[in-house]
Amino acid sequence: MRGTLWRANLGQAPCWRPERDRVPGGHSPDAMLAVYPALASQLSQYCLQREVRSSLQLLPVWPPGGLVPRLNPGDAQAEPESSVSELIGYGAGLTPDGDDYLLGYLASLWPWQHLDAISAHLKLLRPAIKSQLHRTTSISRHYLGLALQGHYSQPIDHLSTVLIRGRPPLDVKRSAIDVMQFGSSSGADCLAGFLHGIRTLGKVAQEETN
């Protein structure tokens, strides 16, 4: 890599690539649903300890104190558009809270598109997000644009892999911390969106068993 007055040798730099063998196929999301309480508790503790401030209500059990994201499978087309409109560009920072939340939500659901209800949900959600990217910052547009193609950062991708494979609780905890640690509130917002995605998977699984 070279600039006008500098250059850097990247020959020895590690190159990360997303794991390709974690697609759940016909597996159920039971492992992800089982770990939800622990992840939600970890998010709560992290936000209290680090005094994380978000413009969103990050968990349903928290007292009202911010925008409550509305993202549900089975909604008509107008509902995802309205929900995305509330979130895109909402909050402060280079990547606003609402954008980080959407990013985590997409990452949580992306591997489960073999489930008809999730596939249908994302087919409505993706164009709703794409059409409103102009309303947020350039950095968020970049990250969300990649997310709409299934590309996520290493910490988010690794958390998905750990959960899908049913790794031990300590691995789950470390992976969640890696996600929450980026930015002042971006990581917490992202994990909250990821947890919302797990709740969505739970609704789909419950409807399929009824």
The tens digit of pLDDT for each residue in 133-155 reads 999 999 999 999 999 999 999 99
Structural domain count of the chain: 1
Q: What region, left, alpha or beta, does residue 91 occupy, with left being phi > 0 and alpha being psi -120 to 50 degrees?
A: left
Q: Is residue 109 part of a domain?
A: yes
Supply the pTM of this predicted model.
0.91
Residue 8 counted as domain residue: no
Residue 69, domain member (yes or no): no
Domain assignment present for 65: no
Q: Residues 33-90: pLDDT tens digits? A: 999 999 999 999 999 999 999 999 999 999 888 999 999 887 666 788 899 999 999 9
- Give the residue among 136, 127, 62, 126 at the shortest CA–CA distance from 97: 136
Of 3-7, 73-77, 155-159, 193-197, the one with minimum mean pLDDT is: 73-77
Asked if residue 179 belongs to a domain, the reply is yes
Q: Provide the domain limits for residue 132.
A: 30-59+75-204
Q: Please enumerate in sequence order all residues whose Cβ is within 8 A of that of 149, keeping only pairs 6 or more positions apart, or say none.
A: none
Give the model's pLDDT for residue 24. Answer: 59
Residue 40 lies in a domain: yes
Hey, which residues does 7 pair with through a beta bridge? 2
